[in-house]
Amino acid sequence: MSLGGGLLVLLVVLALGGAIALHLRRVRIARERARLETYAAAPTKKYWGKRLTLPAQGHVCLAAREIADTRFKFDEAPSLPLAECTCKFDCRCSYTLLEDRRSGKERREGIDRRPVVRYDPDNPPRRSGRDRRKGKDTPFNDYVI
- Domain ranges in the chain? 11-42, 47-99
Q: How far apart are CA 99 and CA 17, in angstroms?
A: 53
Q: What is the CA angle 60-64-67, rounded to 5?
A: 145
Residues in the chain with pLDDT < 70? 1, 39-43, 108, 110-121, 123-129, 131-145
Q: What is the pLDDT of residues 108-119, one digit of tens each?
A: 676 666 665 565
